[in-house]
Amino acid sequence: MTTLILGRTLAFDADPFAVPPGDAATFEHRGAVVVERGRIVAVGSADALRAAHPQADRIDHGEALILPGFVDAHVHYPQTAIIASWGKRLIDWLETYTFPEEARFGDPAYAAGIAARYLDLALAHGTTSVCSFCTIHPESVEAFFAAASARNMAVWAGKTCMDRNAPANLRDTPRSAYDDSRALLERWHGRRRASYVVTPRFSPTSTPDQLDALGALWSEHPDCLMQTHLNEQTDEIAWVRSLYPQARDYLDTYEAHGLLGERGLYGHAIHLTARERDRLAEIGAAAIHCPTSNTFIGSGLFDMGLAARMRVGLATDTGGGSNFSMLRTMAAAYEIAQLRGTALHPAQLLWLATEGSARALHAGDIGRLAPGGAADLVVLDLASTPAIAQRVACAEDVWEAVFPTIMMGDDRAVAQTYVAGQAMLPRG
């Protein structure tokens, strides 16, 4: 069946970090998206597409804005239940909240319950694709991919590997990290809309032998992504220096073990040296900006100037991040950029949360409102609260109309979320 989804549409034609941001997208005040078999067939004016598809089933969202579904490039779904835990910096936060919670994910039923809860919360906030760390337990990976498959979501995930500086019940070995990851990869990678990600948590919780094993696995499966953490906090960097005294810098602890590459995702990447910035850009890797986490845990201020040199994705970093919402994440990215002297344009914020993150994940069929792409969409009510509505009433263009929702919006702004053309939220 052909479906015509009507509303305002905003489709990016170019990277707003490479061209004047206001010129990077095409806006249709009365637009439409044509969907067939889970894919976008056409995007354009409502009148033209109604005429071209007179028999299509119609869903009319009125004045709401249709965008690509949000793409969250760095999350920890097992931390769903401990989101917004009080008062710790990174290392204490891991020991006090994260590790005790992650120890529960050897129970398949518990893992399945949290995976379902997390994905439903993501969908309610307009997020249609995520890249997640799981736990050391293969059960946690199975639960996540199964829950995503049931919802037909495009997701990326992997077993989080740690063989030191973690509780005994959360440690594996170089051998088991390789074997478990390989078995999960062979079971899930490329199955429906699932992609496996090689996942060392970060250098402090892996020995050089484990990093070597995971580097070998990645080299054997170069079409996979690899995700980890890099330069999140200054005390973490000092810890890495003490554990890897021979390394030139933090990034070198990955590079020396085969864990630097074009398909690498390096979460946070706040306190980069000049060499690290140059090397990441040279190799074509992605830095993933986690603004609510960076402020909540007191990590520092990401340099959005990196977007002119390399792939940059945007992420909630659940549960170090303090919100499931990519709208709130965009607002935090704006605030952090302001503190560094840059006012990010609304086009840049929306692009980071959609196509920018999709590019970081090397996913060409999501994050774009364009023919041939997956019909993963979010529909935003741009007057979802009285405070937002009164500001939008005097907006002079689409960017002034959408910016208040970026800064003040939450799940109330999400009128509908579509995954492969299927509505995922109750209508009304």
Check which CATH number belongs to the domain holding 253 and give it. 3.20.20.140
Say yes or no: 61 and 201 in one domain.
Answer: no
Asked if residue 97 belongs to a domain, the reply is: yes
If asked whether residues 402 and 257 sit together in one domain, one would say no
Give how far Cα 71 sits from Cα of 3, 89, 315, Å.
23, 26, 8
Q: Are residues 341 and 282 in the same domain?
A: yes
**Adjacent-strand bridge partners of 230:** 268
**104 in a structural domain:** yes
Of 58, 50, 52, 54, nearest to 3 (Cα)? Answer: 58
Pair 252, 353 in one domain = yes
| Residue 116 sits in the same domain as residue 151 | yes
| Domain stop point among 312, 331, 360 | 360
d(CA 201, CA 39): 34
Instruction: State the virtual CA torsion across 309, 71, 252, 234 in degrees, nearest 10.
Output: 100
- Choosing from 336, 360, 384, the residue where a domain stops is 360
How many angstroms separate the most distant Cα atoms in the chain? 68
Q: Is residue 10 part of a domain?
A: yes
Place of tokens 């997390």: 118
Give CA separation, 417 vs 66, 123, 161, 390, in Å. 10, 6, 33, 25
**Whether residue 320 is found in the same domain as residue 402:** no
Query: Do residues 412 and 385 lie in contact, with contact meaning Cβ atoms separated by under 8 Å?
Result: yes
> Which H or E run contains 210?
helix 208-220
Give Cβ neighbours of residue 130 (< 8 Å, ≥ 6 apart). Answer: 71, 72, 73, 75, 77, 119, 122, 153, 155, 156
Element (H, E) at 346: helix 346-351
Instruction: Print the domain residue range for 376.
Output: 2-69+368-423
Among residues 305, 331, 360, which one ends one of the domains? 360
Positive or negative, the CA dihedral 266, 322, 136, 236 is: positive
How many domains are contained in the chain? 2
Asked if residue 428 is part of any domain, the answer here is no
245 and 129 inside one domain? yes
Residues 29, 58, single domain; the answer is: yes
Instruction: Judge whether 202 lies within some domain.
Output: yes
Closest CA to 104 of 120, 122, 84, 82: 82
Are residue 239 and residue 223 in the same domain, yes or no? yes
Residue 211 burial (10 A CB sphere; 0-12, 13-18, 19+): buried
**Tens digits of pLDDT across the chain (428 residues):** 899 999 999 999 999 999 999 999 999 999 999 999 999 999 999 999 999 999 999 999 999 999 999 999 999 999 999 999 887 777 888 888 899 999 999 999 999 999 999 999 999 999 999 999 999 999 999 999 999 999 999 999 999 999 999 999 999 999 999 999 999 999 999 999 999 999 999 999 999 999 999 999 999 999 999 999 999 999 999 999 999 999 999 999 999 999 999 999 999 999 999 999 999 999 999 999 999 999 998 999 999 999 999 999 999 999 888 999 999 999 999 999 999 999 999 999 999 999 999 999 999 999 999 999 999 999 999 999 999 999 999 999 999 999 999 999 999 999 999 999 999 998 54
DSSP for residue 98: I
Same domain for 353 and 322: yes
C-alpha 306/C-alpha 279 separation (Å) is: 12
